[in-house]
Chain A
Amino acid sequence: GAVVSQHPSRVICKSGTSVKIECRSLDFQATTMFWYRQFPKQSLMLMATSNEGSKATYEQGVEKDKFLINHASLTLSTLTVTSAHPEDSSFYICSARDSRLAGNEQFFGPGTRLTVL
Protein backbone atom coordinates (compact mmCIF):
# COMPACT_ATOMS: atom_id res chain seq x y z
CA GLY A 1 0.00 0.00 0.00
CA ALA A 2 0.77 3.72 0.02
CA VAL A 3 2.19 3.99 -3.47
CA VAL A 4 2.93 7.33 -5.09
CA SER A 5 3.73 7.59 -8.78
CA GLN A 6 5.18 10.39 -10.85
CA HIS A 7 5.00 11.02 -14.56
CA PRO A 8 7.13 11.47 -16.50
CA SER A 9 10.21 9.94 -14.92
CA ARG A 10 12.48 11.95 -17.20
CA VAL A 11 11.85 14.96 -19.40
CA ILE A 12 14.10 17.04 -21.59
CA CYS A 13 12.81 20.35 -22.88
CA LYS A 14 14.03 23.48 -24.58
CA SER A 15 14.58 26.69 -22.71
CA GLY A 16 11.43 28.81 -22.57
CA THR A 17 8.95 25.96 -22.71
CA SER A 18 6.70 24.78 -19.88
CA VAL A 19 6.77 21.31 -18.39
CA LYS A 20 4.08 19.59 -16.34
CA ILE A 21 4.87 16.85 -13.83
CA GLU A 22 2.13 14.69 -12.37
CA CYS A 23 2.07 13.11 -8.92
CA ARG A 24 -0.54 10.49 -8.11
CA SER A 25 -1.41 8.57 -4.98
CA LEU A 26 -2.43 5.16 -6.29
CA ASP A 27 -4.04 3.46 -3.32
CA PHE A 28 -4.88 6.15 -0.83
CA GLN A 29 -6.36 9.62 -0.70
CA ALA A 30 -3.77 12.33 -0.43
CA THR A 31 -5.21 15.33 1.35
CA THR A 32 -1.76 16.90 1.32
CA MET A 33 0.95 16.70 -1.30
CA PHE A 34 4.45 18.09 -1.19
CA TRP A 35 6.90 19.05 -3.90
CA TYR A 36 10.64 18.84 -3.32
CA ARG A 37 13.62 19.71 -5.41
CA GLN A 38 16.93 17.88 -5.20
CA PHE A 39 20.16 19.09 -6.75
CA PRO A 40 22.91 16.58 -7.52
CA LYS A 41 24.47 15.10 -4.41
CA GLN A 42 22.34 17.32 -2.19
CA SER A 43 19.39 16.90 0.09
CA LEU A 44 15.75 17.51 -0.63
CA MET A 45 14.46 21.03 -0.34
CA LEU A 46 10.75 21.54 0.18
CA MET A 47 9.29 23.81 -2.49
CA ALA A 48 5.63 23.86 -1.59
CA THR A 49 2.82 22.15 0.26
CA SER A 50 -0.60 21.76 -1.26
CA ASN A 51 -3.87 20.72 0.31
CA GLU A 52 -6.59 19.34 -1.91
CA GLY A 53 -8.81 22.11 -3.19
CA SER A 54 -6.67 24.91 -1.79
CA LYS A 55 -3.87 27.08 -3.06
CA ALA A 56 -0.38 25.78 -2.44
CA THR A 57 1.83 27.23 0.26
CA TYR A 58 5.28 27.99 -1.09
CA GLU A 59 8.51 28.00 0.87
CA GLN A 60 10.51 31.16 1.08
CA GLY A 61 12.47 31.81 -2.08
CA VAL A 62 10.32 29.65 -4.34
CA GLU A 63 8.60 31.61 -7.12
CA LYS A 64 4.95 30.65 -7.19
CA ASP A 65 4.47 32.08 -10.68
CA LYS A 66 7.33 29.95 -11.93
CA PHE A 67 6.31 26.71 -10.24
CA LEU A 68 2.56 26.34 -10.60
CA ILE A 69 1.00 23.71 -8.38
CA ASN A 70 -2.49 22.32 -8.75
CA HIS A 71 -4.06 19.81 -6.36
CA ALA A 72 -7.56 19.46 -7.70
CA SER A 73 -8.32 15.95 -6.50
CA LEU A 74 -7.43 13.64 -3.65
CA THR A 75 -5.21 11.55 -5.87
CA LEU A 76 -3.51 14.01 -8.21
CA SER A 77 -1.24 17.01 -7.92
CA THR A 78 0.63 18.67 -10.76
CA LEU A 79 3.72 20.85 -10.84
CA THR A 80 4.19 23.02 -13.91
CA VAL A 81 7.57 24.61 -14.45
CA THR A 82 6.79 27.64 -16.60
CA SER A 83 9.25 29.15 -19.04
CA ALA A 84 11.89 26.69 -17.97
CA HIS A 85 15.56 27.64 -18.02
CA PRO A 86 18.70 25.53 -17.62
CA GLU A 87 18.95 26.47 -13.94
CA ASP A 88 15.60 24.74 -13.39
CA SER A 89 17.20 21.43 -14.32
CA SER A 90 16.87 19.25 -11.25
CA PHE A 91 15.30 16.15 -9.73
CA TYR A 92 11.74 16.89 -8.59
CA ILE A 93 10.19 14.59 -6.03
CA CYS A 94 6.65 14.65 -4.76
CA SER A 95 5.25 13.09 -1.64
CA ALA A 96 1.76 12.61 -0.32
CA ARG A 97 -0.06 11.87 2.89
CA ASP A 98 -3.57 11.63 4.24
CA SER A 99 -3.54 14.30 6.93
CA ARG A 100 -6.78 12.96 8.35
CA LEU A 101 -5.01 9.88 9.62
CA ALA A 102 -3.02 10.34 12.82
CA GLY A 103 0.58 9.28 12.54
CA ASN A 104 0.45 8.87 8.78
CA GLU A 105 3.80 9.86 7.33
CA GLN A 106 4.61 11.14 3.86
CA PHE A 107 5.04 8.65 1.03
CA PHE A 108 7.42 9.61 -1.73
CA GLY A 109 7.22 9.27 -5.46
CA PRO A 110 10.13 8.00 -7.58
CA GLY A 111 11.03 11.47 -8.81
CA THR A 112 11.17 13.25 -12.17
CA ARG A 113 14.45 14.32 -13.69
CA LEU A 114 14.07 17.55 -15.63
CA THR A 115 16.75 18.67 -18.04
CA VAL A 116 16.36 22.06 -19.68
CA LEU A 117 18.56 22.63 -22.71
Chain B
Amino acid sequence: GDSVTQMEGPVTLSEEAFLTINCTYTATGYPSLFWYVQYPGEGLQLLLKATKADDKGSNKGFEATYRKETTSFHLEKGSVQVSDSAVYFCALSEGTSYDKVIFGPGTSLSVIP
Protein backbone atom coordinates (compact mmCIF):
# COMPACT_ATOMS: atom_id res chain seq x y z
CA GLY B 1 0.00 0.00 0.00
CA ASP B 2 0.91 3.67 -0.11
CA SER B 3 3.39 4.90 2.46
CA VAL B 4 5.53 7.85 3.45
CA THR B 5 9.01 7.72 4.95
CA GLN B 6 10.74 10.63 6.63
CA MET B 7 14.18 11.15 8.07
CA GLU B 8 14.24 10.40 11.74
CA GLY B 9 14.63 13.16 14.23
CA PRO B 10 14.95 14.96 16.39
CA VAL B 11 16.77 17.56 14.35
CA THR B 12 18.48 20.39 16.23
CA LEU B 13 19.74 23.42 14.34
CA SER B 14 21.09 26.82 15.22
CA GLU B 15 19.13 29.87 14.16
CA GLU B 16 19.76 30.85 10.51
CA ALA B 17 21.00 27.38 9.59
CA PHE B 18 19.85 25.60 6.44
CA LEU B 19 17.15 22.98 6.89
CA THR B 20 16.48 19.84 4.91
CA ILE B 21 14.00 17.20 5.98
CA ASN B 22 13.95 14.24 3.63
CA CYS B 23 10.71 12.61 2.57
CA THR B 24 10.15 9.73 0.16
CA TYR B 25 6.94 8.04 -0.75
CA THR B 26 5.50 4.89 -2.25
CA ALA B 27 2.28 5.14 -4.19
CA THR B 28 0.53 3.20 -6.90
CA GLY B 29 -0.89 6.22 -8.68
CA TYR B 30 -0.06 9.90 -8.91
CA PRO B 31 -0.45 11.31 -5.42
CA SER B 32 -0.64 14.84 -4.18
CA LEU B 33 2.06 15.59 -1.64
CA PHE B 34 1.91 17.73 1.47
CA TRP B 35 3.96 19.04 4.32
CA TYR B 36 2.11 19.74 7.55
CA VAL B 37 3.49 21.42 10.64
CA GLN B 38 2.40 20.81 14.21
CA TYR B 39 3.41 23.27 16.89
CA PRO B 40 3.52 22.04 20.49
CA GLY B 41 0.08 21.20 21.82
CA GLU B 42 -1.68 22.14 18.62
CA GLY B 43 -3.29 20.45 15.62
CA LEU B 44 -1.84 20.28 12.14
CA GLN B 45 -1.45 23.17 9.76
CA LEU B 46 -0.88 22.73 6.06
CA LEU B 47 2.52 24.21 5.26
CA LEU B 48 2.68 23.55 1.52
CA LYS B 49 1.56 21.14 -1.14
CA ALA B 50 2.25 19.98 -4.69
CA THR B 51 -0.18 18.12 -6.87
CA LYS B 52 1.93 16.95 -9.82
CA ALA B 53 5.48 16.13 -10.81
CA ASP B 54 7.96 19.03 -10.82
CA ASP B 55 5.56 21.29 -8.93
CA LYS B 56 7.20 23.33 -6.20
CA GLY B 57 5.22 24.13 -3.11
CA SER B 58 6.36 27.09 -1.03
CA ASN B 59 5.21 28.97 2.05
CA LYS B 60 6.84 31.01 4.83
CA GLY B 61 10.29 30.44 3.35
CA PHE B 62 9.84 26.68 3.14
CA GLU B 63 10.00 24.89 -0.21
CA ALA B 64 9.54 21.35 -1.49
CA THR B 65 9.66 20.03 -5.05
CA TYR B 66 7.67 17.02 -6.22
CA ARG B 67 10.25 14.65 -7.74
CA LYS B 68 8.53 11.75 -9.43
CA GLU B 69 11.76 10.15 -10.63
CA THR B 70 13.09 9.83 -7.09
CA THR B 71 9.63 9.65 -5.41
CA SER B 72 10.72 12.40 -3.07
CA PHE B 73 9.37 15.63 -1.60
CA HIS B 74 12.16 17.02 0.58
CA LEU B 75 11.41 20.08 2.71
CA GLU B 76 13.97 22.91 2.71
CA LYS B 77 14.38 26.31 4.27
CA GLY B 78 17.36 28.53 3.78
CA SER B 79 17.44 30.14 7.24
CA VAL B 80 15.47 28.70 10.13
CA GLN B 81 14.16 30.66 13.08
CA VAL B 82 13.41 29.65 16.65
CA SER B 83 9.72 29.95 15.80
CA ASP B 84 10.11 27.13 13.26
CA SER B 85 10.55 24.64 16.10
CA ALA B 86 7.78 22.11 15.57
CA VAL B 87 7.06 18.64 14.23
CA TYR B 88 6.88 18.36 10.46
CA PHE B 89 4.82 15.68 8.73
CA CYS B 90 5.16 14.66 5.12
CA ALA B 91 1.95 13.23 3.70
CA LEU B 92 0.34 12.03 0.51
CA SER B 93 -3.13 11.68 -0.87
CA GLU B 94 -4.00 9.78 -4.00
CA GLY B 95 -4.74 12.05 -6.94
CA THR B 96 -6.98 14.93 -6.02
CA SER B 97 -9.19 12.89 -3.75
CA TYR B 98 -8.10 14.12 -0.39
CA ASP B 99 -10.19 11.69 1.57
CA LYS B 100 -7.32 9.37 2.35
CA VAL B 101 -4.25 11.14 3.65
CA ILE B 102 -1.30 9.01 4.68
CA PHE B 103 1.16 10.63 7.04
CA GLY B 104 4.81 9.99 7.58
CA PRO B 105 6.08 9.48 11.13
CA GLY B 106 6.97 13.13 11.62
CA THR B 107 10.30 14.87 12.20
CA SER B 108 10.80 17.02 15.27
CA LEU B 109 12.79 20.20 14.68
CA SER B 110 14.31 22.29 17.44
CA VAL B 111 15.95 25.58 16.53
CA ILE B 112 18.21 27.08 19.18
CA PRO B 113 19.22 30.74 19.35
Contact = CB atoms under 8 A, between A and B. Distances in A.
Contacts of A49: 99
Nearest to A6: B43
Contacts, number: 52
**Most chain A beta-carbon contacts within 10 A, residue among B42, B89, B96:** B42
Interface in A32-50: 32, 34, 41-44, 46, 49
A109 B51 CA distance: 23
Interface string A77-117: 00000000000000001010101001111111111010000
Contact of A103 (B51, B104, B105): B51
A29 to B, nearest CB: 15
Nearest to A104: B98
Contacts of A103: 51, 96, 98
B103 A43 contact: yes
Contacts of A43: 89, 103-106
Contact of A105 (B41, B43, B49, B89): B49
B11 interface: no
- Which 10 residue pairs are nearest across A and B when measured between Cβ atoms? A110-B43, A108-B44, A111-B43, A43-B103, A108-B43, A105-B98, A43-B105, A44-B103, A93-B43, A109-B43
11 contacts: A6-B43, A43-B103, A43-B105, A44-B103, A49-B99, A99-B99, A102-B96, A105-B49, A108-B43, A111-B41, A111-B42
Given A43-B89, A103-B98, 10 more contacts: A43-B103, A43-B105, A44-B44, A46-B100, A105-B32, A105-B46, A105-B93, A108-B36, A108-B45, A113-B41
